[in-house]
Amino acid sequence: MHAPILIHWIVRTKQSRLRLGVIFGGVSTEHEISIMTGLQLIDTIDTQRFEVVPIYISMSGAWYTGAELFQLSYFKGLPGVLSRAREIALLPNPQGPKLVFVDRSRADKGMYRLEESESLNVDIVFLALHGTHGEDGAIQGLLKMAKIPFVGSGIRSSAITMNKYVSKVVAAANGIPTLPSVIAKKADFIKNFKEAYQDILSQDLTFPVIVKPCNLGSSVGLNFADTEAQLKQALVAVFKVDEQAIIEPRVVDLTEINVSVIGRTNPRASVIEVPLSGKELLTYEKKYMAGSGSKKGSKTRAGGMANLQREVNSTRIPETLKEEARDLAVRLFTCLDCAGLVRIDFIYDNQKEALYFNELNSIPGSFAYYLWVQSSPRYLLTELVNLLVDEALEEFGMQETLAQTQPFRALR
C-alpha cells in the first residue's frame, strides 16, 4: 500500500465519527458514471463528521472495500486490480453483523467463508449507484431488510420512478402534464408478435414517435420512428435491452429543462438547467475555440467544455417557464414520494408552448451539485451530504417506531 493512501485511510478511520458507507459501481450500464459520482461525493465529504467506508460493487455484482477504492486511477486497472481490495458481503439479518469479509482462499475447492468475527458496520449508507439495482428499489430493499439507514428514495418510490411509463401514470393521476404514452411488453410480443403489434397500432399513436426502454437511462436503445415499419424495428431494438418499451409522440422542436429537488418535509427546487444538444454543443465549441489559440487557452478548454454541456439557469428560458418547471418539480417530488436528492427532467414543446414531465432520476449523476451551487439558498456538495444524511437518519428513526413485529400467536 502506498503511504499517502495509508494516511488517507487512517485519517478516515478515526473512531467517534459517523461511519458513512458510500456504495458505487453496480451491475448497470451506468457503472462508470457511478464510480465518478461516488468518488466525487467521497472527495467532498466532511471528514470531521464522517468516517467514509467506500463500497464498490463490481460489474459482476461482487462487493469490495479498501483504501484503494478512494483513487480514481485504481479503476483504470479493472478487473485485474480487484484482488487488492477486500471482498465483503451484506447480510440482511438485522440482528447480526451486516457487512462481513469474504474469505475465498479455498475458492479452488469451491468454498468460501464469511468472516463474521470481522465485520465492518456502517451507521448509514449513501447510494451513489445509477440505473439497474441502484435506482430501482433493489438495493433499497436489501438495506431496509438489514435495517441500515440510507440516503434517498425508498423501495416503492425508487421502483416507480425507475419505470418511465409507471412514473408518468402516477404523475398524470396527480394532475401533472405528461405526453400521452403507450407501453409495449416484450412478453406479449414473445407470445404472439403479430397480435401484440396490432394491439399497439390500434392505440392512439401519432407519428412521428419516439420509442424508449422503460427501465433504462443514458439514452440506451432509444429510437425515433416515422412509420409503422420503423416502429416495429424500434420495438425489437428495445426488447434486446429491456422488457418494456414506451412509445410517445416525438416532440420535434423541443427544449429540455431539468430541475433538482431536495427536502422530504419541505421540498425545494434548484435553479433549472438546459442540457445542450449535439448541434448546440457544436456551435458552442466553435464559439469557444474561436477565442482561444494559445496553449494556456487549450488547457482551460477541458474544464470549460465540461461546463458547456448545459446552461444553468439559462437566460433563454423566460422566468415564468422556469417557475412553472420548479413548481411542477416540487409537486412531483411529493406525489412520487421521493427522498434525498433527485433530478426531474421536463420536455418543453416550443411549438405548442407546453411543458411535460419526462422522467425522474432518483440518483442523478454528480448529484446535480452544479445546480445547487447556483441556487438560492446555495448548497455546496459537502453541505448537501450533511443535510441529506440528517434527513435520512430522521426518517429512519420514524420508520423504526412503526416497525413493530406481531407476537407469535396464530400457530400456537
Ligand X SMILES: Nc1ncnc2c1ncn2[C@@H]1O[C@H](COP(=O)(O)OP(=O)(O)O)[C@@H](O)[C@H]1O
Q: Which of 8, 250, 268, 310 binds ligand X (CB under 6 A)?
A: 250
| 91: nearest Cα among 23, 132, 142 | 142
Least spacing, CB of residue 382 vs ligand X, in Å: 28
Residue 50 neighbours by CB under 8 Å, 6+ apart: 17, 18, 19, 20, 385, 389
Q: Which stretch binds ligand X (CB under 6 A): 64-72, 77-85, 245-253, 321-329?
A: 245-253
Question: For Mg ion, which is the closer residue by CB, 87 or 359?
Answer: 359
Closest approach of ligand X to the CB of residue 273, in Å:
12
- Asked if 75 contacts 65 with a C-beta cutoff of 8 angstroms, the reply is no
Q: Which is nearer to Mg ion, 62 or 325 (CB)?
A: 325
- In DSSP terms, which residues pair with 125 in a beta bridge? 21, 150
Question: At closest approach, how far in Å is the CB of 112 from ligand X?
Answer: 37
Q: How far apart are CA 152 and CA 116, in angstroms?
A: 28
User: Scanning residues 290 to 349, which ones bind ligand X (CB under 6 A)?
Assistant: 345, 347
Q: Which three cell numbers stand for residue 150?
A: 440510507
- Give the H/E segment covering residue 121: none
- Compute the least distance from the CB of residue 162 to Mg ion, in Å: 12
Q: Look at residues 116, 118, 117, 139 and name the one whose alpha carbon lies nearest to residue 55.
A: 139
Alpha carbon distance 215, 275 (integer Å): 21
Minimal distance in Å, beta carbon 261 to ligand X?
17
If DSSP codes are grouped into helix, strand and coil, which group holds residue 173? helix
Report in angstroms the alpha-carbon separations of 348 from 181, 326, 392.
Answer: 16, 13, 33
Can you tell me which of 184, 251, 325, 341 binds ligand X, judged by CB under 6 A? 251
Residue 115: name its binding partner from Mg ion, ligand X, none (Cβ under 5 to 8 Å by kind): none
The Cα 247–Cα 263 span in angstroms is: 32
Quote the Cα angle for 381-82-139, to 5°. 50
For residue 239, list its beta bridge partners.
none
Cα 192 to chain centroid, rounded: 35
Distance between CA atoms of residues 30 and 365, nearest Å:
9
Q: Which stretch binds Mg ion (CB under 5 A): 116-124, 131-139, 308-316, 340-348?
A: 340-348
- Least distance between ligand X and beta carbon 343 (Å): 10
Q: How many residues bind ligand X (CB under 6 A)?
A: 16
Among 178, 358, 362, 375, binds ligand X (CB under 6 A): 358
Q: Among residues 41 and 360, whose Cβ is nearest to Mg ion?
A: 360
Residue nearest to Mg ion (CB): 345
Q: Which is nearer to Mg ion, 82 or 269 (CB)?
A: 269
Indicate whether 248 belongs to the interface with ligand X (CB under 6 A): yes
- State which residue, 248 or 395, has the beta carbon closest to ligand X: 248
The reply on whether position 17 binds ligand X by CB under 6 A is: no
Task: Name the residue type at position 101.
Answer: F
Task: Please tell me whether residue 163 binds ligand X under the rule CB under 6 A.
Answer: no
CB of 366 to Mg ion, least distance (A): 14
Q: Residue 62: which of 78, 41, 74 has the closest Cα?
A: 78
Nearer to Mg ion, 248 or 345 (CB): 345
Q: How many residues line the site for Mg ion (CB under 5 A)?
A: 1
Q: Which does 256 bind (CB under 5 to 8 A by kind): Mg ion, ligand X, none?
A: ligand X
**Binding span for ligand X by CB under 6 A among 68-76, 188-196, 228-236, 251-259:** 251-259
Q: Which of 355, 395, 362 is nearest to 149 (CA)?
A: 395
Residue 248 contact among ligand X, Mg ion, none, beta carbon within 5 to 8 Å by kind:
ligand X
Per CB under 6 A, contacts with ligand X among 177-236 are 179, 210, 212, 217-219, 222
Instruction: Please state whether beta strands 99-103 and 86-90 pair in parallel, antiparallel, or not at all (unpaired).
Output: antiparallel
| Angle formed by the axes of helices 381-402 and 31-44, nearest 10° | 100
**How far apart are the C-alpha atoms of 8 and 223, rounded to whole Å?**
46
73 binds, among Mg ion, ligand X, none (CB under 5 to 8 A by kind): none
Binding footprint of Mg ion on the chain (CB under 5 A): 345
Binding footprint of ligand X on the chain (CB under 6 A): 179, 210, 212, 217-219, 222, 248, 250-251, 254, 256, 345, 347, 358-359
